[in-house]
Structure 1
Amino acid sequence: MNNTKLIPYLTFENTKSALDYYQRVFGVTDVTRQAPTEKQADEMALNKDVNLEDLTLRASFKILGQEVNCADSFMGKPVISSLISLMLQVDMHDSDESTNLENLYKQVAESEDAKVIVTFEKKSSGDKYGQIVDKYGITWIFNEIK
């Protein structure tokens, strides 16, 4: 039995702001956020005048029931990479999950803070597929398979 999980872990310059964005645009749920303690700030050699409540040591949220972890980049400004994409995949025979995926795609696609790269529609394979890039440069793949 394999108990290993692969959980996406995103790094932001301002995770607190990113969490607000994902709640507003993607409707994410189960949002948690932890600021660093004074001891942790000392260990990371953060400036004494920084407001710890504005920083995020660790955070998480769920999107369509899937967990995503995130935190601030304490090593400098994070670099945006087009090499990373997150795929949300459902079985098209599960009508509830298919509806949830389609509704999420529409919600995000209608946002001014995201760019549709590939329209979510049925492809020649019979699967439905679409891609959206969010304001942080993360590509979200919406995939409904047979």
Structure 2
Amino acid sequence: MANTNLIPYLTFENTKSALEYYKRVFGATDVTRESPTEKQAEEMSLNPDVNLDNLTLQASFRVLNQPIYAADSFLGKPVVSSLISLMLEVDAHDSDAESALESLYKQVSDSEEVKVIVTFEKKSSGNKYGQVVDKYGITWIFSAVK
């Protein structure tokens, strides 16, 4: 289907804090965050004394110019799952894209705020590949394919 996008939508216990993490560790850009209004909080049956500024109804950010959306889990504590993976894939023939991907991997892995699963390097296939898990249990796959 043309004109269809698949955009990750992540749920956190504290999206406000997660956004700071992704800015610091992944260099997230174009960060937006919207708190619920009093009316929305009432409609969601939130405790009337809750600090709405600490809650996130919807947020978005970009990593390597790829959009990611997020929000707080209003239905209870989110369950961390190793089943969630996000892959950043670039064309290895595009040296600027490959360089940006490699720089991001280095920034992320050097931060010591992720667990490196696979070091980003050329594999037997000729493609470059690396994998980390962030502090929220999300696997990030870095892939430069020919």
Secondary structure of the equivalent of 2:121?
A: strand
Secondary structure of the equivalent of 2:102?
A: helix
Q: What RMSD in Å do the two structures reach over aligned CA positions? A: 0.7
- 1:95 is matched with 95
- 2:112 is matched with 112
- 1:68 is matched with 68
- TM-score, normalising length: structure 2: 0.98
How big is the shift at 1:111? 1.2
Query: What fraction of aligned residue pairs are identical, expressed as a percent?
Result: 74
* Alpha-carbon distance between aligned partners in 2 of 1:39 and 1:95, rounded to the nearest angstrom: 50
- 1:26 is matched with 26
How big is the shift at 1:112? 2.0
- 1:131 is matched with 131
- Supply the AA of the counterpart residue of 2:93: H
- 2:55 is matched with 55
Tell me the alpha carbon deviations over residues 101-134 of structure 1, each in whole angstroms, 9 at most, x when there is no partner.
0000000001121010000000000000000000
- 1:81 is matched with 81
* Alpha-carbon distance between aligned partners in 2 of 1:48 and 1:38, rounded to the nearest angstrom: 8
Deviating runs (4+, > 3 A) in structure 1? none
How big is the shift at 1:2? 1.3
Matched, 1:39 2:39: yes
- 1:5 is matched with 5
* Alpha-carbon distance between aligned partners in 2 of 1:98 and 1:68, rounded to the nearest angstrom: 20
* Alpha-carbon distance between aligned partners in 2 of 1:38 and 1:56, rounded to the nearest angstrom: 13
How big is the shift at 1:84? 1.2
Task: Name the count of aligned residue pairs.
Answer: 146
How big is the shift at 1:4? 1.4
- Supply the AA of the counterpart residue of 1:14: N
* Alpha-carbon distance between aligned partners in 1 of 2:116 and 2:44, rounded to the nearest angstrom: 38
Secondary structure of the equivalent of 1:41?
A: helix
Identify unmatched segments of 5+ residues in structure 1.
none
